[in-house]
Amino acid sequence: MIEKELAIVGGGPGGYVAAIRAAQLGIDVALIEGNKLGGTCLNRGCIPTKSLYASAELADKLKDADEFGIQLEAFSFNLNKAMSRKEKVVEQVVKGVEKLIKDNSILYIEGYAHFINSHQLKIRTGEGTDILLSAKNIIIATGSVPSSPPIPGSDFPGVIDSDALLELTDLPKRMVVAGSGVIGMEFASIYNSFGSEITVISSTLLKRVDKDIVKRLPVILKKQGIKLYDGARAKEISKTDNGLLMTATNKKGETIQVEADIVLMAVGRRPYYDNLQIEHSGVITGNNGIKVNQFFQTNVPHIYAIGDVLGGTMLAHVASHQGVECVEYISRGKTKEKFPVVPDCIFISPQIAYAGLTEDLAIEKGYVVKTGKFNFAANGKAVAMGETTGFVKVVVDSKNNQILGVHIMGPHASDLIHEASLAISSNMKIEAICETIHAHPTLSEAFHEASLNVLDVALHLSPSKKNRIGE
């Protein structure tokens, strides 16, 4: 039997980062992964989708190449080549993680683990042999899987989840996306750029996003050729002579029917620990995931859980952060008391990113707020890039000018959001951003101008337009 101070079950961004930090702290650690190192994020989520997103971005640019003085006779899109590049990208990133695990002298066991008791795991390897492992502490980091809603016809061929969509070899002419969360909207945007006819069935469009962005987005999607049925729910999928028929109903009870070649079920993900035999450990689970305290301890104090299995915010960077915090608590018996600010990014066209509170949520929490906004159409760098759609919105506590939230829709929003995250997590007041010199010409000037706009002193915005930004 192998004996370790710490065993981590799951090699995704939560598990492998926790293992690296444990090794840095001198903890004798084993990392166990049954599928592929890197988990969903590296193999079936963040990395492959961003590879395809890069292809989609380039395709969109080429459509407007003539405006930039570049004349193309014609160009076509090859899904097979895009998928091949995606596989190379994934392989390169995974190999990088494999090297990190090796260089940190972490015992890596490729196999599926299940609990024998609260300290012991049995690991079935790919060769069919069993390895017994005993650990003083165990971290569960087994992630999540796509949800499967009980919609009649969802088992028909051509009805797929996000994992299967990443393996397509033929570009679908028509695709219906059931679900308008991050996963659904990212794939809708990507495949629209590739040339598919996209219809989105949306019960609530990007429900965690600020209202001004959600208000603006349907107009943008329509211009891009994406058909959106907001406030609608999928009811049934049936076969037709021409493919599949999605039937949905809207808030008025009216029936919506859309034909498609592919139906993507993108209604969310659920925590995954199905084959862990967790009942043998004594760990109590809830309806929405494994329950933990502020130190990521389950009801069994030496068993911890991090990442998507908690059923909360299912983001790779959250899992990684929790992995570090968890291991540092195991090593040092303490952790940071402050809950971190979590930036969230949505890779559609244009990108969306946000951190902190939305305006509505801030009001709900009792704040008296004021806001500042600035359109990218008035930003010199965005104009030069030909990417002027979108804006920056800053939400501030009117009592002390503390920054509560920042919401960006526009070019490179996923890169711009981190100045905002730092500002919010550091309890900065809006004056700190206003007094910071932002290089010109850069997209970050839009955040600076939106911050100035909170104080009614935006320099590149006519006073009469303050309340019209984002319309």
Minimum mean pLDDT range among 262-266, 412-416, 463-467: 463-467
Structure-token pair, residue 441: 């010409």
pLDDT tens digit sequence for 268-279: 899 999 999 999
Same fold, 159-267 and 350-468: no
Report domain extents, the chain: 2-146+270-332, 159-267, 350-468
Q: CA-CA distance, 466 to 455, in Å (whole number)?
A: 11
Q: Is 129 helix (H, G, I), strand (E, B) or coil?
A: coil
- Looking at 302, 440, 448, 460, which residue is catalytic? 440
Separation in Å, CA 29 to CA 192, 303, 383: 45, 14, 51
Site of tokens 């990218």: 376
pLDDT tens digit sequence for 87-125: 999 999 999 999 999 999 999 999 999 999 999 999 999
Q: Is 373 helix (H, G, I), strand (E, B) or coil?
A: strand
Q: CA-CA distance, 39 to 354, in Å (whole number)?
A: 25
**How would residue 464 be classed by pLDDT, with cut points 50, 70 and 90?**
low
Burial of 78 (0-12, 13-18, 19+ CB in 10 A): exposed
Q: Are 126 and 111 in contact (CB under 8 A)?
A: yes
Say what the pLDDT of residue 258 is: 97
Separation in Å, CA 451 to CA 42, 278, 403: 36, 49, 9
Q: Are 402 and 207 in contact (CB under 8 A)?
A: no
Burial of 71 (0-12, 13-18, 19+ CB in 10 A): exposed
| CA neighbor of 119 nearest in space, from 132, 138, 106 | 138
Element (H, E) at 74: none
Site of tokens 């029936």: 255
Q: CA-CA distance, 448 to 216, in Å (whole number)?
A: 22
Active site residue 440: yes
pLDDT tens digit sequence for 40-75: 999 999 999 999 999 999 999 999 999 999 999 888
Q: CA-CA distance, 201 to 125, in Å (whole number)?
A: 41
CATH of domain 159-267: 3.50.50.60
Range 2-146+270-332 classified under CATH 3.50.50.60: yes
Percent of the chain residues topping a pLDDT of 90: 90
Running DSSP on this structure, what letter comes out for residue 145? E
pTM, rounded to two decimals: 0.94
Range 350-468 classified under CATH 2.30.40.10: no
What type of residue sits at position 241?
Answer: D
pLDDT tens digit sequence for 3-27: 999 999 999 999 999 999 999 999 9
